[in-house]
């Protein structure tokens, strides 16, 4: 079996998986306790998929009853790009979303690896492949397999590679010897990630409060971005990399070999705010961002983000299209955040809009008006 494991790892590397590890399908008991504490603290925010089937997350065999081993794989997505400059016009995109959607890029190679494993095993095997799509504590499984260790920013860190990688898994009905080993490296006294977070999203080391996290607020969050956190969003139109950018382990990062994940394959490292705010329909939005991770928050979410960023970076060129969104957009979420942005960028033009929208049919828009007026009078 040791020879089979070596063959599996070699096949994984040949397919572009930078690191492969084997772990058992035994419960992840320690991590389950931490996950339950995190959930019960309210840190999952609106991510209901993290709280629905809680009995599965730490129990691979509950997820796939016939599984005998878990193969965990790391995919490097790091890519270099020019230093970001908002130029009063651009919003910044998190690095993982510069290229094509990683789900679509990774799945075919997982299937190819499973097919190779079947050939190497010399028998028909059962295999299920996952890319960030099932209730499994995948970072915990990868840590148990020795792929990395948990950083204070809750990312999984590889000592010689950093944290710019995706995780994927293949559960198989093969009894493979586990790599199970704990990496004896830690963040030590370093707390750069905790101190650098623009919205103070860390409740403490190893504890991320999603309710304050820019990545959550701009991607998974379906509602309004809280007023008190909007300035902290800064230039981030989609996701956030701050806690990884400052991590000393990421000085070891090297460019990905996956062409699908490189910036030239997708939207790249920044978006033109005026262009994004000019997208008037869902159809136009889907055509513009098809095949990329930026479809995740849908049009309403991305334009909400663009409005906030436009205000934060002083994009006065966006005022006309923001007013267009306020006057004609069917989405209250977009109208309300556009109004907030115009009030920041051009108070004179915002005043008549506020007076009219105080009578808007949607309570979210009316509330936005009252909050803006309240801010101005205090």
- 251-296 per-position pLDDT tens digit: 999 999 999 999 999 999 999 999 999 999 999 999 999 999 999 9
Of the candidates 31, 83, 104, 132, the residue annotated as catalytic is 132
Strands annotated E in the chain: 19-23, 69-76, 90-93, 127-130, 149-150, 156-157, 165-172, 202-204, 207-208, 236-238, 270-272
List, for residues 342-372, the tens digit of each pLDDT value: 999 999 999 999 999 999 999 999 999 999 9
The pTM assigned to this predicted structure is 0.94
Is 180 catalytic? The answer is no
What is the token pair recorded at 89?
């016009």
**117 pLDDT exceeds 90?**
yes
Q: Which helix (H) or strand (E) holds 39?
A: helix 29-40
Helix, strand, or coil (residue 341):
helix
**377 pLDDT exceeds 70?**
no
What is the token pair recorded at 68?
């005998």
Q: Are 267 and 97 in contact (CB under 8 A)?
A: yes
Average pLDDT, the chain: 94
What is the token pair recorded at 33?
């306790």
Neighbouring CB atoms inside 10 A of 354's CB total: 19
Please tell me the least confidently modeled range out of 171-185, 194-208, 253-267, 305-319: 171-185
**317 pLDDT exceeds 80?**
yes
With 0-12 CB in 10 A as exposed, 13-18 as middle and 19+ as buried, what is 337? Answer: buried
Band of residue 44 on the pLDDT scale cut at 50, 70, 90: confident
């Amino acid at each position: 079996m040791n020879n089979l494991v070596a063959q599996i790892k070699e096949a994984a590397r040949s397919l572009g998986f930078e690191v492969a590890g084997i772990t058992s399908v035994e419960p992840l008991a320690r991590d389950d306790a931490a996950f339950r504490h995190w959930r019960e603290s309210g840190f999952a925010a609106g991510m209901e998929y993290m709280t629905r089937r809680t009995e599965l997350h730490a129990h691979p065999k509950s997820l796939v009853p016939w599984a005998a081993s878990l193969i965990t794989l790391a995919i490097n997505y790091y890519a270099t790009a020019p230093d970001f400059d908002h130029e009063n016009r651009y919003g910044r995109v998190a690095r993982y979303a510069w290229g094509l959607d990683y789900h679509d890029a990774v799945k075919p190679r997982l299937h190819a690896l499973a097919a190779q494993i079947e050939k190497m095993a010399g028998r028909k095997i059962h295999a299920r492949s996952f890319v960030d799509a099932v209730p499994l504590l995948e970072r915990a499984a990868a840590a148990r397999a020795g792929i990395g260790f948990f950083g204070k920013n809750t990312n999984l860190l590889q000592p010689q590679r950093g944290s710019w990688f995706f995780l994927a898994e293949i559960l198989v009905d093969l009894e493979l010897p586990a790599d199970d080993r704990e990496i004896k490296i830690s963040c030590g006294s370093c707390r750069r990630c905790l101190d650098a977070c623009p919205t103070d999203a860390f409740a403490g080391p190893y504890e991320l409060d999603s309710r304050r996290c820019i990545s959550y607020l701009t991607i998974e969050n379906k509602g309004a971005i809280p007023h008190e956190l909007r300035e902290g969003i800064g230039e981030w139109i989609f996701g956030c990399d701050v806690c990884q950018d400052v991590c000393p382990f990421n000085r070891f990062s090297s460019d990905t070999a996956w062409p699908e994940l490189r910036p030239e394959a997708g939207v790249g490292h920044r978006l033109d705010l005026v262009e994004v705010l000019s997208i008037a329909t869902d159809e136009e939005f889907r055509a513009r961002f098809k095949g990329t991770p930026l479809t995740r928050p849908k049009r309403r979410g991305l334009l909400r983000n663009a409005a906030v960023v436009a205000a934060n970076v002083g994009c006065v060129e966006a005022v006309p299209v923001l007013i267009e969104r306020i006057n004609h957009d069917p989405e209250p979420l977009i109208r309300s955040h556009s109004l907030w942005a115009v009030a920041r960028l051009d108070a004179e033009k915002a005043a008549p809009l506020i007076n009219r929208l105080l009578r808007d049919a949607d309570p979210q828009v009316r509330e936005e008006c009252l909050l803006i007026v309240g801010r101005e009078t205090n």
